[in-house]
Amino acid sequence: MAAPQELYAAIRDEASSVLIGNEDIVERLTISLLTDGHVLLEGIPGVAKTTIANLFARALGLDFQRIQMTPDLLPADVTGTNVYRENIGEFQLQRGPIFGNVIVADEVNRATPKTQSALLEAMQERQVTIEGKTLSLPEPFLVIATQNPIEMDGTFGLPEAQRDRFQFKLTVDLPDRDEEAAILDRFTNDPSLTSASIDSVVESGDVEEAKATVTEVHIAQPVRSYLLDIIESTRENEYVEHGASPRAGIATLRAAQAHASIDGREYVVPDDIKQLAADALSHRLVLSTNAELSNVTPREVIEEVLDSVAAPDADDVLDTLDAPEVEA
């Protein structure tokens, strides 16, 4: 069970040669990579959202593609199209930037809904259709979309169906004073330091091996029931109009397996669910008018749910490791 743990440690250590702070963001990106998820990054300009994605891809040695999402961007600019080549007298497929391993859709809410929807098939089906022809995307495949929460003029908010396709919504916060001082020192001492300074620390095939390891992580029935209680509670909360979907439950459970494996365990514990719940569930909730009037946020709803749902005893979870589970 060491492969995911070593993979994450290698990525974290290499990225830290440029990046200061945001270790939890790197961990969540690794979890999404190992569970075929996607990530929505939110933060004000200048907090290194795109840089984090670039560092992550370079440390993995993967193909990194950045798409600047603007109102005039067309779906074909994302997926590609057939282009007529006069020298050979026929059409040839020109693949778009979606054909990469790590795709950064920068400021995704600035693109029109029609262009945003071009990402949906790729994110869910890992394929795109160009003029009736379906093409598979490379593996691994990870979409990291960014958005700026303070400039909303001329933007198109992601619809609920599209938000639900992101495994995590993560907030890249401003650094504290000590971290910012370290950033100033590092880039003063080495002005040429960029994401290009990062070396690949993962060999070909390591990601697939680590993904296979994650699928073997044991999920005890008490832990499954605990997650179901959380999901059900989001649907019954007074501030929620539409709670977490079944897709949300699957994404959270798979993320918990990867979190456990990165921690060096062969089994999921309730704390894995607790640590991931806000990042995995909050962006999927549709709050009621009452919540808006009361200034209640989705993360506050998840915190309330976690406080109200009792977690199973650790002994009950560990007992299942010695006894095979019986199908209901």
* pLDDT for the residue numbered 50: 87
Number of neighbouring beta carbons within 10 Å of residue 83: 9
- 232-268 pLDDT per residue, tens: 999 999 999 999 999 999 999 999 999 999 999 999 9
Q: What is the total residue count of the chain? A: 328
The matching CATH number, chosen from 3.40.50.2000, 3.30.1360.30, 3.30.70.270, 3.40.50.300, for 36-187 is 3.40.50.300
- 155 has a pLDDT exceeding 80: no
- 280-321 pLDDT per residue, tens: 999 999 999 998 889 999 999 999 999 999 998 877 777 777
Q: What is the mean pLDDT of residues 259-280?
A: 95
Domains 36-187 and 217-322 in one fold: no
d(CA 101, CA 57): 8
Number of neighbouring beta carbons within 10 Å of residue 193: 14
Residue spans of the domains in the chain: they are: 36-187, 217-322
Tokens describing residue 54:
């670039």
Average pLDDT, the chain: 89
Instruction: Please enumerate in sequence order all residues whose Cβ is within 8 A of that of 41, keeping only pairs 6 or more positions apart, or say none.
Output: 25, 49, 52, 53, 144, 145, 146, 147, 170, 171, 172
Specify whether domain 217-322 bears CATH 1.10.10.10: no
Q: What is the mean pLDDT of residues 43-60?
A: 89
Task: Spell 220-240 as b/e; 16+ CB within 10 A means b.
Answer: bebbbebbeebbebbeebebb
* 0.75 surpassed by pTM: yes
